[in-house]
């Protein structure tokens, strides 16, 4: 009996109740066991339409206590009304759903036991439309998560007993009509939140001045009084110079007084070394993020390695992205790089780290006779035996510069032999295995140490120092101080051999490779895919030359091995998405989401249509390439007309990448798809990981 229940836990709830339960009486009883129906997540039931959802909710009504419909953008409002049947629900997540203020009011009035709520605050939100019963329910909430699409406090003023508040600000500075968005109407509101019992505060901002202004209004009370129980404070603001907050030092001091700090992230303009020392001293934090805070680099390591924190083994998530970043226009010295010895001490003192992000940093290994493999940064990171997700700069995998190769190819040939030189045929590239091996980096001993020491890695991101996506999540901050592509000589030495070495990660589920000029023909992709059979999410961007896509044949071969792949994001300037490409992509039978981005790329409309017909699970097809607006819109309409009937969640966006209306088009894409795959971002040790949710 128990073994059957364990197996049924892996069956999606909709299949469990609508299919498996109808096989026999025994399975019907097991499928309705309370252990299977108490905590239910319906977020990725893409193939389930409104009618089936209603049937499922009817069967869940007497059992479910925690219910998530996060990102179910395709469900109708009338279907959401059926949530009122689930009167025993204490935790409800309806972010991304079509929930009007009146529907929210009726829902809250029915769910009197609700303790945790997650929803969107849209332009039509009005707290005056909430009934007295709904306000009573909100007054008992202990956890609230809001995504703000308009300047508003949402329901925060109604929640007098909040212990956890998680906010996401996604408000554009300008409306579709070109009118600037203003927060001044909120300044005079009397219903300002006070957070008397608040323990955890998390805020994640999209780029824009309005979002920063609104955040400061939410934080106004902190300038007067810091909640005594506050132990999580996470604020993620994109951009190099977020607005200064004068109350930050007093907040940091207050966080360090009680010795129970769990998570901390502040923008670099809010925190200085002294404040950071006071916040961490005597605490045992579990989540820390110092993204783009180079001034704090020395103090961070002093606090973590020299007794500043009480117990470093409690730390499980650490984001050091850009912590030693120096703009490329300045002289980068040895002090501006990661030090293998320091990272080794970190691995010993904080041995239980699960998630580590070192993006936008540099490490230049000197391949000298006096240094052994243990001096490599990868050897230090290999001591983090519990790592599950890791983001590294490309240069961190290099075993050192190949000086013989550099000297050989930089020395001009003798004039005697120039007259005897054979002129190469136009369009034909001569294959030279010895040169290709040296260019792609033939030594992977450092990476081998890392992979052997971290066998549980499920998420791995390798990002070149000069990479900037055409569709980044945090625009324009991700482009603010990007150095020219290929400037780092160590990063240029990372290529096919290093990708092939990833075959040593059998648990790998999520892989990102971006900005790697050392990739020549992509042969490592095939070798990796053959062994990483459980790869589910793949993001490839700007590999090899940007003037020609020279790894197309191996890419097509690799896709034929990715039988478990569910998400693919491919960004390359000259991508040719022809019939061969989509035939190979059709081998990924479990594919659900695909995003293709190419500044000068082309696509075959008939091949796209055939692909969508073969891959019946695809619910997201986003293509941003060249071509005319008419051709893109025509194909988009054809796909929606033909396939949306059987795929309620289908999202098709096909648009010219250089078109001036592209920002407005992206704004219409469901946020759950933007964050997940359409817009490029790192997923390691970022606010979603740090958030208590």
**pLDDT number for residue 320:** 93
Enter the tokens of residue 310: 């009480």
**pLDDT number for residue 560:** 95
User: Does the structure show a pLDDT above 50 at 429?
Assistant: no
Rounded to an integer, the average pLDDT of 621-648 is 94
- Contact (Cβ atoms closer than 8 angstroms) between residue 442 and residue 497: yes
User: Does the structure show a pLDDT above 50 at 406?
Assistant: no
Quick one: residue 559, left, alpha or beta (phi over 0 = left, psi -120 to 50 = alpha)? alpha
**pLDDT number for residue 418:** 41
- Contact (Cβ atoms closer than 8 angstroms) between residue 148 and residue 154: yes
Prior bond of 476 cis (ω within 30°): yes
User: Does the structure show a pLDDT above 50 at 414?
Assistant: no
Rounded to an integer, the average pLDDT of 392-407 is 73
Identify each DSSP E strand in 176-286 by its residue range: 200-205, 232-236, 263-265
User: pLDDT category, 322, cuts 50, 70, 90?
Assistant: confident
User: Does the structure show a pLDDT above 80 at 442?
Assistant: no
Choose the weakest-confidence range: 118-122, 300-304, 404-408, 599-603: 404-408
Rounded to an integer, the average pLDDT of 84-92 is 95
User: Does the structure show a pLDDT above 60 at 33?
Assistant: yes
User: Does the structure show a pLDDT above 70 at 474?
Assistant: no
The predicted model scores a pTM of 0.89
Rounded to an integer, the average pLDDT of 48-72 is 92
User: pLDDT category, 218, cuts 50, 70, 90?
Assistant: very high
Contacts with 96 (C-beta within 8 Å, 6 or more apart), sequence order: 69, 70, 71, 72, 73, 120, 147, 670, 671, 672
What is the average pLDDT value for the chain, to the nearest integer?
A: 86
User: pLDDT category, 479, cuts 50, 70, 90?
Assistant: low
Rounded to an integer, the average pLDDT of 77-98 is 94
**pLDDT number for residue 652:** 96
The more confidently predicted of residues 334 and 517 is 517
pLDDT in tens, 136-194: 999 999 999 999 999 999 999 999 999 999 999 999 888 777 788 877 655 445 455 77
**pLDDT number for residue 424:** 44
pLDDT in tens, 577-633: 999 999 999 999 999 999 999 999 999 999 999 999 999 999 999 999 988 999 999
Quick one: residue 176, left, alpha or beta (phi over 0 = left, psi -120 to 50 = alpha)? alpha
pLDDT in tens, 261-287: 999 999 888 988 999 999 999 999 999
User: pLDDT category, 289, cuts 50, 70, 90?
Assistant: very high
User: Does the structure show a pLDDT above 90 at 687?
Assistant: no
> What sign does the CA torsion over 393, 398, 400, 402 have?
negative
Rounded to an integer, the average pLDDT of 646-663 is 92
Residue percentage of the chain with pLDDT more than 90:
56
pLDDT in tens, 359-395: 988 898 876 444 555 789 999 999 999 999 999 999 9
**pLDDT number for residue 333:** 53
Identify each DSSP E strand in 12-73 by its residue range: 39-41, 66-68
Q: How far apart are CA 92 and CA 90, in angstroms?
A: 7
User: Does the structure show a pLDDT above 70 at 481?
Assistant: no
User: Does the structure show a pLDDT above 90 at 106?
Assistant: yes
**pLDDT number for residue 291:** 86
Q: Which residue matches tokens 């934080």?
A: 219
Q: How far apart are CA 627 and CA 601, in angstroms?
A: 8
Residue percentage of the chain with pLDDT more than 70:
87
User: Does the structure show a pLDDT above 90 at 405?
Assistant: no
**pLDDT number for residue 184:** 63
**pLDDT number for residue 604:** 96
User: Does the structure show a pLDDT above 70 at 326?
Assistant: no
DSSP-assigned states of every residue in 297-362 = HHHHHHHHHTTSSS-GGG--EEE-TTTT---TTSPP-GGGS--HHHHHHHHHHTTT--EEE-TT--
Identify each DSSP E strand in 108-231 by its residue range: 116-121, 143-148, 164-169, 200-205
pLDDT in tens, 492-511: 889 999 999 999 999 999 99
**pLDDT number for residue 44:** 84
3-state SS, residue 30? helix
Contacts with 317 (C-beta within 8 Å, 6 or more apart), sequence order: 286, 287, 288, 289, 353, 354, 355, 685, 689, 690
- Contact (Cβ atoms closer than 8 angstroms) between residue 681 and residue 238: no
**pLDDT number for residue 346:** 94
3-state SS, residue 219? coil
**pLDDT number for residue 192:** 59
């Amino acid at each position: 009996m128990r073994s059957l229940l364990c197996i049924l836990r892996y069956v999606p709830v909709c299949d469990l109740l609508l299919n498996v339960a109808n096989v026999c009486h025994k399975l019907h009883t097991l499928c309705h066991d309370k252990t299977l129906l108490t905590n239910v997540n319906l977020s990725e039931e893409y193939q389930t339409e409104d009618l089936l959802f209603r049937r499922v909710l009817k069967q869940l009504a007497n059992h479910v206590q925690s219910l998530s419909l996060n990102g179910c953008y395709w469900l109708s409002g009338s279907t959401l009304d059926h949530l009122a049947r689930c009167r025993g629900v204490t935790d409800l997540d309806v972010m991304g759903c079509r929930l009007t203020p009146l529907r929210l009011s009726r829902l809250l009035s029915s769910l009197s036991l609700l303790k945790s709520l997650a929803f969107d605050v849209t332009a039509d939100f009005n707290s005056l439309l909430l009934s007295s019963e709904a306000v009573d329910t909100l007054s008992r909430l202990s956890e609230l998560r809001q995504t703000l699409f308009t300047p508003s406090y949402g329901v925060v003023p109604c929640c007098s007993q909040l212990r956890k508040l998680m906010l996401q600000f996604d408000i554009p500075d300008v409306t579709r009509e070109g009118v600037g968005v203003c927060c001044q109407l909120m300044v005079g509101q009397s219903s300002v939140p006070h957070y008397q019992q608040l323990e955890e505060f998390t805020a994640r901002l999209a780029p824009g001045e309005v979002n920063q202004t609104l955040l400061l209004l939410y934080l106004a009370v902190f300038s007067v009084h810091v909640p005594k129980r506050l132990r999580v404070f996470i604020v993620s603001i994109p951009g190099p110079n977020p607005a200064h907050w004068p109350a930050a030092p007093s907040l940091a001091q207050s966080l360090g007084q009680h010795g129970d700090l769990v998570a901390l992230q502040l923008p670099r303009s809010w925190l200085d070394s002294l404040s950071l020392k006071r916040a961490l001293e005597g605490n045992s934090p579990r989540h820390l993020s110092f993204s783009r805070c180079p001034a704090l680099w020395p103090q961070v390591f002093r606090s973590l390695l020299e007794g500043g924190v009480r117990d470093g083994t409690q730390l499980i998530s650490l984001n050091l992205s850009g912590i030693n970043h120096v703009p490329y226009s300045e002289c980068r010295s040895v002090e501006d790089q990661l030090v293998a010895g320091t990272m080794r001490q970190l691995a010993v003192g904080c041995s239980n780290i699960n998630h580590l992000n070192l993006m936008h940093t540099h490490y230049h290994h000197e391949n000298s006779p006096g240094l052994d493999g243990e001096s490599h940064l990868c050897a230090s990171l290999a001591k983090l035996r519990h790592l599950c997700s890791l983001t590294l700069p490309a240069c961190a995998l290099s075993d050192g510069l190949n000086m013989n190769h550099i000297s050989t190819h930089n020395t001009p040939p003798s004039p005697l032999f120039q007259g005897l030189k054979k002129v190469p045929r136009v369009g034909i590239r001569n294959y030279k295995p010895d040169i290709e091996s040296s260019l792609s980096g033939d030594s992977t001993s450092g990476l081998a140490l890392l992979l052997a020491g971290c066998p549980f890695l499920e998420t791995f991101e390798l990002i070149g120092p000069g990479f900037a996506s055409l569709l980044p999540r945090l625009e324009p901050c991700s482009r603010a101080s990007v150095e020219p592509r290929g400037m780092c000589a160590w990063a240029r030495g990372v290529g096919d051999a290093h990708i092939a070495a990833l075959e040593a990660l059998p648990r790998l589920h999520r892989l990102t490779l971006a900005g790697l000029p050392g990739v020549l023909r992509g042969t490592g992709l095939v070798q990796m895919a053959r062994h990483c059979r459980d790869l589910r999410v793949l993001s490839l961007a700007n590999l090899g030359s940007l003037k020609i896509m020279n790894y197309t044949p191996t890419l097509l071969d690799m896709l034929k091995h990715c039988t478990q792949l569910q998400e693919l994001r491919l960004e390359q300037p000259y991508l040719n998405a022809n019939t061969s490409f989509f035939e190979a992509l059709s081998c990924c039978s479990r594919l659900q989401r695909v995003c293709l981005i190419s500044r000068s790329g082309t696509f075959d409309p008939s091949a796209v249509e055939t692909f969508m017909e073969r891959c019946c699970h695809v619910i997201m097809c986003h293509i941003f390439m060249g071509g005319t607006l008419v051709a893109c819109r025509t194909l988009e309409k054809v796909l929606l007309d033909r396939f949306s009937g059987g795929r309620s969640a289908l999202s098709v966006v096909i648009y010219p990448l250089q078109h001036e209306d592209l920002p407005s088009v992206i704004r219409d894409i469901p946020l759950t798809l933007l964050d997940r795959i359409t817009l490029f971002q790192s997923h390691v040790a970022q606010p979603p990981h740090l958030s208590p949710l």
